Structure 1
Amino acid sequence: MNSIVPSIFGRIFSNKIPLAFNEHALAVTHNKTNQQIQWSEVTTPLSFKFGFLGQTIHFSTADQNVTLTMMGYHSDHFLKTRFDQYWVNANIAKLDALLEKIANILSHGFLRQSRISDIKSLALQERSRWFPWIKESNSLALIEKKIQLLDKYSKWDNVATHFFQHRYVKEQLQHHKSFFDQVESNPLTERQRTACIIDDDNNLLLAGAGTGKTSVMIARAGYLVQSQQAKYDDILLLAYGRKAADEMNQRIQDKLTTDKIKAATFHSLGLSIISQVEGGRPSLSVFAEDEKVKAEWLHNSFESLIENQSEYRARVLDYFSQYYYVEKNDFDFQTLGDYYHYLNDNDILSLKGDKVKSFGELYIANWLFYHGIDYEYAAAYQFDVKTVARRQYKPDFYLPEYELYIEYYGVDEAGNTAPYIDKDQYHASIAWKKATHQRYNTRCVTLTYAQHKQDTLLNELQNALSEHKIDYEILPIESILASLRETGRISVLAELFGKLLGLYKAADLDEKAQTDIINRAEDTKQAETALALLKPIMSSYNHHLHQRDEVDFEDMIIKAIDYVESGLFTSPWRCIMVDEFQDISKPRARLVKALRDNNNGSSVFAVGDDWQAIYRFSGADIRLTTQFAKYFGLTTQTELDVTFRFNNKIGQVTSDFISKNPAQLHKTITSLTHVATPAISLLRRGDHTVANYQSSLIELSNGAVDDVLQAIYSKTCKPVTVYLLARFGFKLPSHADIQTLSAKYPLLKMQAHTFHAAKGKEADYVVIIGLQKGKHGFPSEKATPAILDALLPPQEDYPHAEERRLFYVALTRARHRVYIIADMANTSGFVQELMAEHDIELDEFSSENEQVYTDDINCMRCDTGVVKKTNWSLWYFLLLFFISSM
């Protein structure tokens, strides 16, 4: 071996040669030990640093850092080039292997984000061994191209990613052109083909209404097999429901001529996983297949707990008296209309069934009821005190047995009223009522919001009744329960618990998550009480299933997640494809993610449309689509932007309408079919016109549906499909109605569907009815119980966001034309928006003047309410107006 001579100082302090070398290794005397180090073990070439006592030489291996001092002053001049060459020769094979590995990654398959991450990581690690010294080394010329390539890989950017991905897609489009031309009855579009080929770790395909998402699902499965990227049993295809899965299987059989790919539902997948882990297929509970049987069992379980457990019974009665509603009071609202709106939407009723005007009144009424005190709510005062300026006085409560009135005033401790109440007028009214009682010598107990706010209201009521010598005692529990059953309250609460049970169980909450649910609820005390009542029911329900060795739908998902995440189940699927992804809930998304992570190299291909996300009530979370990458990781997002269903005029209106919500993903949908005139028509008609056809439905009884069907019938000479759609099922024509209409218009093949049921379907023409305002109108103002709302995904900030998407779904079912029937005196705000902001047809049908000039007149008292038209004739109205002004 050659050796490096120490400097004069090195020779003085040591008689040993610290470093010897040849082209294969270094012989080092270091820390009183002698060792031989191969050049391939040295992480980077040796560095030289000049010092007063001589050169300092430094190098590292994976295990140690070596520093040699007092070496010959000119060692670097004689040896650095040779040392660099030795190191390059020893490491060039490793560099070549890395570059070859990267080249293979880039040339085989779609370039996934995880592979890009691997490329950068490997390149950066290798680069740190070569830079910066190689830039100044004489050895650079020998490997310059390789070093440049390594440097490029270590600085990988999106431009490079897109280049390789685009090149791969282009090659695959050419190579599999014949397949994509023939897999469906019509050749796939380029967007559809590209969606089939792209294969990132996570893929989100946004497929607008009628853009052919099912064709892509089937073609992608076929392409993966034909291109030898997957075998049949590598593919897991998930559909939202059994019917959708069966339809997908039939399409696969027809288009791919194989039964080796089977679409599964999430529940059947869960059942399969459980069966494999547990070594046997568990029985499916009847509760999973028959909602009526489940509801009856839950109702009976609830009743049994009430009857047999005194503590539970007391909690139930406490819940009904104090926590049944989310409490809000006059002062929580800015307008009287908003307050009335809340009371109406939530059906704030006392236990006796009275529709009260405030929560203070609710608690007074319930206390009187519980204590067996008969009362009349808002009954006319026993003396006639009405005048031309004032209607008959109706105190809040009257106790006929004791001839005692109770008034509850909405004033706080400072005498203030709610923001929308005229304080002076309100106090004047209080003074008038007090004077009236004094004048007629009637007794009246006055209570206030201030007392309710300070939690002394019921104590004050009890004290006042005692002062008036009124005796009372709590009603027997049996009587109270009998009344609750008679008014249907027990059944309603049992039904709510049935909904809560499924959501609560599916959420698989730990203690912290449960606390978060309670804290997120609009009324934390109500949520806490409701969950306390739910838990014994759920415990009994789970015990019932366990005893019979049965599972329900929630078990299928929860157990499957646990088995996959714990490693008890090993996923065989490398290609996971999920249909209707916008309808997915967090537990299902968690199962998909667990399956992906369970098998290295697996990919998720999700197909959905956030514009058609309409199932929050069942736990679907739109954020899993709009924030897909946040949940699943780096994602390639593509779009299907050409609809084969509806024409450009329907497309323009519906796209503009749905795009108002900025939280939704932006898309541009173009139509294959183009027309020149509007394709959405509005028929405006009130409910006073009576046609020959008699029905409980306004749109049938006033002849509007007949007029629309006649318009469709006059345009066709061959059978066409017509859907009659409404938000709620009870607003649809009955089967008998459809039969009668079909007999009258034999070329029209008619079906009636709710908006939800129509999703995924299409017809030549669509007729939309039931577009009134209110709780069962559209958008529906029906309130979701607060505890149920807390278990569902968070509400969106945009007003009526899901109802807007539901209307979009209804409008986009039509191929040729949509007909909207509305009474403009009480119509949906969505209809008014279409009229004001979009290009729709208003003149296809004649309308009466009262239906044309329909600007809402806000109530002068409550601000937000709208004055409604009555059935009086205009002349009679004018006559009354004239008389009243005399």
Structure 2
Amino acid sequence: MLFTTPLILKYFASYTSINVDDGGVILYDRYGKPYSLLWKQIIQPPKLESKVLFSYLTITHSQGLMSLAIKVDDKSELALKLQKIWVTHHQKELCARIIKLERLLKARYLSHGLINMIQSVLIPYRDKWLSWDIRCELSAELAQAIATLKEVTQWSEGDIAAFQEGYVRYKLTEHEVFFDTVEKLPLTTAQRRACVIQDERQLLLAGAGTGKTSVMIAKAQYLAYTRQAYAKHILMLAYGNEAAREMAQRASQYPTFPECMTFHKLGLEIIERVEGVAPNISQLAQNEREKRTFVKETIVLLCQEEQYRLSFVHYTKCSGTDIASIRRYLESAQGTRQLKTITESLGHLKCAAAMNNLLRLETRFNEVLLCIRPILAEYSLYLSNEKAIDFEDMIIKSIRYVEEKKFISPWTHFLVDEFQDISPIRAKLLKALTEQSERHHLFSVGDDWQSIYRFSGADISYTTDFTNFFGQGTVTQLDKTFRYHQALLDVSSRFICANPGQIMKRISAHNTDDIAPLVYIEESEEEQSLCSALSELNAKVQTECSVLILARYHKLLPDKRLLSKLQQQFEFLELRTMTFHGSKGKEADYSILLGLHAGTSGVPAQESSDPLIEALLPKQGNFPNAEERRLFYVALTRAKRQVYLIKPKVNPSEFLLELDY
């Protein structure tokens, strides 16, 4: 089909004629020079627009627009012919793309990354097919492909949620036998959903006793079972050595199982793979007493220089300015406490520097930093001369290797336990690893209600504001606790949720026995109060049972002599003593809480951190005693049956009064 520009426009138009056939279009300029376009280069069917005297034919191609005036008798027929030819050349590509899309949507969870990828891939097809009025006849396959294209590119949040829910339900049915048998007991619906949902960033909020470890193990096995990942590409991370060992032991019971390690072990692994040799861990890092001695001797050495000595005396309020006075001060009770603070600050300062957070401290703590920075410099020099690293270096150095791409992660799926305990420096390492590839996935399990390690750098905001730091993701919850009964769940949940900063969770108890959750014992003499609680317990239980004796501070727990005596007296009660912090992750049939008085060495703790240490730690929430409340919640939720509270006659803890309200 050849069309020419009317004579009146020939001398002004860019193109004077056009030839259209099944191969494409050829436009000729006023000098007769041709410009050819294949139909595949033409983004949309040529448009025919009527003007006063002529019709304008516009062709949209990959480089822009071409337009020329033509005179045509039947515009509708020509427009229809042009559509048919264009559709013939483009339909195969669209149908093939939609088939691939449908296969992908059937095989994979509709994650945020997948949504973004689909939308970006389909934008050119949307512009090609949905921006003009289709008038020509379409095959059934093409009509369905266009309908799918229109639906997917116009998905609302509700549509996406409905599609995700449909996928989850389908997979729950398809893999029902797997979920029934992967652990000793069949997984709950919420646990199964946590396994099936596979977003690039996923946080599972798992309250006390909800079976988070079972989900971690099942998630790893599900990924391997459904061939979403090989076991060797899955890394399970735990906060401490004991948790990592427990997880590894449980995972090793399966034919294929992933690696399990702590963040420090991960750091060592990264450093060794980059440097080709395992790093040497400094003895100072492994022995706190030796490290404190090193700091003391370093201070004495630095004080040989007068300016530093005067700065140190001003900082510590030491009574004398000579070396002997400074040494005596460092060996005094007050000096020993100061040494502990300085030693503790070294690690926090290294992490703050790695996070670029030191500048904000310069003005407020200038005098303190003048004293501590030289100590940190000497410590770093000692490590360098020793060709050794400390625990902070394990993380800081590994971050650098990951960010510089000297280390490329062999793992594509990172499963992190006790996520509420993660520190900024660990979070930075995790983010660096997961951002190495779009194929990397993060599955984190934690409970903001049990975030109790701020003193060691844990930052609860990575849990409460998960997606703000790690990017678009999915947050779900486990909704059933198997540890304790509903009444104890109600009491403990009401207590922790008095802080509006904690994430609200809908949890029910598997055990609905009607049991009084709390038993109050009036405090008398320490030993007598504990004996009274144990005697009441001993008379109540029919069989052997376990009892956790808990206190905020170790010094308030019965010593070995008393514990041995009580164990002999109540031989059917298995007694263990722990601090509130030490009881995290533990459980027993009953628990007894001691030291529930207000004030010094009481609950909540009144001791304040050194101002510099406090500034180096993550920010606290605005709610009073937020972390102490979480710690008390941990203590309340160790017992399966009942919690015995030793209540002081005078000056009881405000937490006790709140429970008794």
Q: One fold, TM greater than 0.5?
A: yes
- 1:699 paired to 2:537: no
- 1:574 paired to 2:412: yes
Compute the displacement of 1:300 (Å): 2.0
Q: Does the 8 Å CA contact 1:7/1:73 hold for their aligned counterparts?
A: no
Aligned match of 1:262 in 255, 259, 263?
259
Compute the displacement of 1:139 (Å): 4.7
Q: How does 1:526-675 map to 2 (within 5 A)?
A: 527-675=365-513
Query: 2:435 is paired with a residue of what secondary structure?
Result: helix
- 1:320 paired to 2:316: yes
Q: Where does residue 355 of structure 1 map in the other structure?
A: none
Q: Where does residue 93 of structure 2 map in the other structure?
A: 94
- 1:305 paired to 2:302: yes
Q: Where does residue 66 of structure 2 map in the other structure?
A: 66
Q: Where does residue 37 of structure 1 map in the other structure?
A: 37
Q: Does the 8 Å CA contact 1:207/1:607 hold for their aligned counterparts?
A: yes
Q: Does the 8 Å CA contact 1:24/1:86 hold for their aligned counterparts?
A: no
- 1:284-337 CA distances to partner (integer Å, 9 max, x unpaired)? 11233222222222222222212x22221111122234xxxxxxxxxxxxxxxx
Call closer, same or farther: CA 1:157–1:77 in 2, change over 3 Å: closer
Call closer, same or farther: CA 1:31–1:494 in 2, change over 3 Å: farther
- 1:265-286 CA distances to partner (integer Å, 9 max, x unpaired)? 1011110111111111111112
Query: 1:125 is paired with a residue of what secondary structure?
Result: helix
Query: 2:540 is paired with a residue of what secondary structure?
Result: coil
Q: Where does residue 179 of structure 1 map in the other structure?
A: 178
- 1:669-722 CA distances to partner (integer Å, 9 max, x unpaired)? 211112224221111235xxxxxxxxxxx522xx11110000011112432111
Compute the displacement of 1:109 (Å): 2.2
Call closer, same or farther: CA 1:110–1:12 in 2, change over 3 Å: closer
- 1:732-778 CA distances to partner (integer Å, 9 max, x unpaired)? 11111111111111111111110000000001110101111113211
Query: 1:714 is paired with a residue of what secondary structure?
Result: helix
Taking the aligned partners of 2:452 and 2:9, their CA distance within structure 1 comes to 82
Which is worse superposed, 295-304 or 545-554? 295-304
- 1:845-876 CA distances to partner (integer Å, 9 max, x unpaired)? xxxxxxxxxxxxxxxxxxxxxxxxxxxxxxxx
Q: Where does residue 225 of structure 1 map in the other structure?
A: 224
Give the AA of the match of 1:481.
I
Q: Does the 8 Å CA contact 2:14/2:30 hold for their aligned counterparts?
A: no
**Structure 1: runs of 5+ lacking an equivalent:** 322-350, 352-369, 371-474, 519-523, 687-697, 837-886
Q: Does the 8 Å CA contact 1:84/1:139 hold for their aligned counterparts?
A: no
Q: Does the 8 Å CA contact 1:106/1:164 hold for their aligned counterparts?
A: no
Q: Does the 8 Å CA contact 2:420/2:460 hold for their aligned counterparts?
A: yes
Which is worse superposed, 737-746 or 78-87? 78-87
Q: Where does residue 804 of structure 1 map in the other structure?
A: 629
Give the AA of the match of 2:359.
T
Taking the aligned partners of 2:15 and 2:495, their CA distance within structure 1 comes to 87
Normalised by the size of structure 1, how large is the TM-score? 0.72
Compute the displacement of 1:486 (Å): 5.9
Call closer, same or farther: CA 1:91–1:641 in 2, change over 3 Å: same
Call closer, same or farther: CA 1:486–1:189 in 2, change over 3 Å: closer
Give the AA of the match of 1:101.
K
Q: How does 1:125-204 map to 2 (within 5 A)?
A: 125-135=124-134, 137-139=135-137, 143-204=142-203
Compute the displacement of 1:668 (Å): 1.9
Query: 1:18 is paired with a residue of what secondary structure?
Result: strand
Query: 1:577 is paired with a residue of what secondary structure?
Result: strand
Compute the displacement of 1:187 (Å): 1.8
Taking the aligned partners of 1:185 and 1:663, their CA distance within structure 2 comes to 36
Taking the aligned partners of 2:399 and 2:275, their CA distance within structure 1 comes to 14
Normalised by the size of structure 2, how large is the TM-score? 0.95
Aligned match of 1:492 in 324, 337, 343?
337
Taking the aligned partners of 1:303 and 1:179, their CA distance within structure 2 comes to 64
Q: How does 1:274-423 map to 2 (within 5 A)?
A: 274-306=271-303, 308-321=304-317
**Structure 2: runs of 5+ lacking an equivalent:** none
Taking the aligned partners of 1:266 and 1:476, their CA distance within structure 2 comes to 43
Taking the aligned partners of 1:16 and 1:257, their CA distance within structure 2 comes to 71
Give the AA of the match of 2:586.
K
Identity of aligned residues (%): 35
- 1:515 paired to 2:359: yes
Q: Does the 8 Å CA contact 2:352/2:358 hold for their aligned counterparts?
A: no
Call closer, same or farther: CA 1:77–1:212 in 2, change over 3 Å: closer
- 1:140-182 CA distances to partner (integer Å, 9 max, x unpaired)? 6874333222111111123332333233323332333333222
Taking the aligned partners of 1:684 and 1:35, their CA distance within structure 2 comes to 98
Q: Where does residue 481 of structure 1 map in the other structure?
A: 326
Taking the aligned partners of 1:12 and 1:53, their CA distance within structure 2 comes to 17
Q: Does the 8 Å CA contact 1:55/1:74 hold for their aligned counterparts?
A: no
Call closer, same or farther: CA 1:12–1:272 in 2, change over 3 Å: closer
Taking the aligned partners of 1:724 and 1:786, their CA distance within structure 2 comes to 33
Give the AA of the match of 2:133.
I
- 1:116 paired to 2:112: no
Taking the aligned partners of 1:513 and 1:280, their CA distance within structure 2 comes to 31
Give the AA of the match of 1:632.
F
Q: Does the 8 Å CA contact 1:9/1:53 hold for their aligned counterparts?
A: no
Give the AA of the match of 1:725.
L
Q: Where does residue 348 of structure 2 map in the other structure?
A: 503
Taking the aligned partners of 2:167 and 2:629, their CA distance within structure 1 comes to 40
Aligned match of 1:814 in 619, 626, 639?
639
Aligned match of 1:776 in 592, 596, 601?
601
Compute the displacement of 1:479 (Å): 6.4
Taking the aligned partners of 1:12 and 1:804, their CA distance within structure 2 comes to 86
Query: 1:19 is paired with a residue of what secondary structure?
Result: strand
Compute the displacement of 1:662 (Å): 1.0
Call closer, same or farther: CA 1:529–1:182 in 2, change over 3 Å: same
Taking the aligned partners of 1:761 and 1:15, their CA distance within structure 2 comes to 82
- 1:546-566 CA distances to partner (integer Å, 9 max, x unpaired)? 112211111111111111122
Q: How does 1:850-865 map to 2 (within 5 A)?
A: none
Taking the aligned partners of 2:550 and 2:112, their CA distance within structure 1 comes to 44
Taking the aligned partners of 2:261 and 2:196, their CA distance within structure 1 comes to 22
Call closer, same or farther: CA 1:227–1:767 in 2, change over 3 Å: same
Compute the displacement of 1:250 (Å): 1.2
Compute the displacement of 1:792 (Å): 0.7
Taking the aligned partners of 2:144 and 2:220, their CA distance within structure 1 comes to 41
Taking the aligned partners of 1:509 and 1:192, their CA distance within structure 2 comes to 37
Taking the aligned partners of 2:287 and 2:12, their CA distance within structure 1 comes to 94
Q: Does the 8 Å CA contact 1:302/1:494 hold for their aligned counterparts?
A: no
Task: Supply the RMSD in Å over aligned alpha carbons.
Answer: 2.2
Taking the aligned partners of 1:31 and 1:507, their CA distance within structure 2 comes to 70
Call closer, same or farther: CA 1:203–1:481 in 2, change over 3 Å: same
Taking the aligned partners of 2:30 and 2:290, their CA distance within structure 1 comes to 83
Query: 2:229 is paired with a residue of what secondary structure?
Result: coil
Taking the aligned partners of 1:12 and 1:541, their CA distance within structure 2 comes to 84
Q: Where does residue 211 of structure 2 map in the other structure?
A: 212
Taking the aligned partners of 1:588 and 1:576, their CA distance within structure 2 comes to 13
Taking the aligned partners of 1:10 and 1:75, their CA distance within structure 2 comes to 21
Q: Where does residue 793 of structure 1 map in the other structure?
A: 618
Call closer, same or farther: CA 1:74–1:6 in 2, change over 3 Å: farther
Give the AA of the match of 2:360.
D
Taking the aligned partners of 1:181 and 1:131, their CA distance within structure 2 comes to 46
Query: 1:704 is paired with a residue of what secondary structure?
Result: helix
